[in-house]
Amino acid sequence: AQAVANADGSVTVSWSAPTEGTVTSYVILATREGQPRHAISGRLEPNPTSYTVDSSELIPGASYTFQVGPINVHTHGPPSAASAAVVVATADAAQPDGGAPAPGRPGAAQAVANADGSVTVSWSAPTEGTVTSYVILATREGQPRHAISGRLEPNPTSYTVDSSELIPGASYTFQVGPLNVHTHGPPTEGTVT
**Following DSSP, what letter does each residue of 138-177 receive, concatenated?**
EEETTS--EE-S--B-SSSSEEEEPGGGS-TT--EEEEEE
At 164, is the secondary structure helix, strand, or coil? helix
Q: Measure Cα distances from 189 to 30, 137, 158 in Å.
A: 23, 11, 15
The predicted-structure confidence for 41-83, as pLDDT tens digits, reads as follows 888 888 889 999 988 888 877 889 999 988 887 766 777 677 6
Task: Categorize the per-residue pLDDT at 133 as very low, low, confident or very high, splitting at 50, 70 and 90.
Answer: confident
For the whole model, what pTM was predicted?
0.50
Tell whether the model's pLDDT for residue 93 goes beyond 50.
no
- 164: phi then psi, degrees, rounded to nearest 5: -70, -15
